[in-house]
Amino acid sequence: MLSEDDYAVDPNFFDEGYSMAGSTGFKVWTGSRLLIEALTWPQDTDCDRLKEIQECVKNVGGTRIIELGAGVGVVGTYLAAVGSHVLLTDLTTLVENAIETNLERNERILSNMSIDDDNHKSCPSWLVNGHTIGKGWPDATPLDWTKPISEQLTDEQASIDFIIASDVVFLASMMKALFDTVEALFQTSKCNTPSFILSFQKRDAQDGTDSVAFTTVDGVLAAVKERGWTIECLAWRTVAVKKEDETGSVKDDTSEVFVFEIKDDTSSS
């Protein structure tokens, strides 16, 4: 027997640019948690480069970040709260129905934590309609990876220090569009020599074969190499997950989650 839930339609299904991949943005994934931990919660085992990035992120008012595929806005909002200025981007549906609402809610909740000084009182011009949350400022705007960023961002918005994204390329079909957008941001921000901080959960098949649908670690490495970029693993964790086997049974398993730094070293030459 089918229930009413089986006939339920995603209310955003017919929105422009929306897809099944876009619907995953309404969930918070494991990669988001690791990215927040890696960038804002220092560990004794952190490498020197990660420590440098942590200092930049907490440099109140001094670091400009753009987040790609922000989903509900967890990572970008947190980085703003610790001091960064962050532009959260995603499809229009996510921006209007999740990110903006969550930014407004966090602004109300964290209003007593905001810094009361001259450098923090006014919204940075490049964020346009920012929210004061904690020690920094976040704002949100739609960004479709399949369209030129020059048609969607101002010159000021496209000039940043870091690009971040958490678990946004689990589908292999999304890789090219993401990296095209990152490449465009590398070019518009080349005077700042930005890097791309990407969290990624390993979904390789257990038998070692390549997946047609899901992006693998090797797939990420190959795509980076093809662009002539460099990649370094800044952090990784083993996490508990639920996996479905060939019979449809769900079993406890583990998976690895990585935080990579990707750079275009040729842009500074």
103, 131 Cβ separation under 8 angstroms: yes
Residue 17 has pLDDT above 60, yes or no: no
39, 57 Cβ separation under 8 angstroms: yes
Residue 4 lies in a domain: no
Residue 242 lies in a domain: yes
Please state, for a pLDDT cut of 90, what percent of the chain lies above it. Answer: 61
Residue 113 has pLDDT above 80, yes or no: no
Residue 81 has pLDDT above 80, yes or no: yes
Q: Which of 155, 141, 157, 150 has its CA nearest to residue 73?
A: 141
| Separation between Cα atoms, residue 173 and residue 175, nearest integer Å | 6
Provide the domain count of the chain: 1
pLDDT of residue 211: 59
96, 140 Cβ separation under 8 angstroms: no
pLDDT of residue 27: 74
Q: Are strands 64-67 and 162-166 parallel, antiparallel or unpaired?
A: parallel
Q: What is the CATH number of the domain that holds 143?
A: 3.40.50.150
Residue 10 lies in a domain: no
pLDDT tens digits, residue range 23-59? Answer: 555 576 788 999 999 999 999 999 999 999 999 999 8
Residue 8 lies in a domain: no
| Separation between Cα atoms, residue 232 and residue 245, nearest integer Å | 32
Residue 154 lies in a domain: yes
Residue 6 lies in a domain: no
Domain of 158 in residue numbering reads as 17-268
The mean pLDDT of the chain is 85
Amino acid occupying residue 151: E
Residue 225 has pLDDT above 70, yes or no: yes
Question: Looking at the whole model, is its pTM more than 0.95?
Answer: no
197, 249 Cβ separation under 8 angstroms: no
Residue 119 lies in a domain: yes
| Separation between Cα atoms, residue 222 and residue 204, nearest integer Å | 14
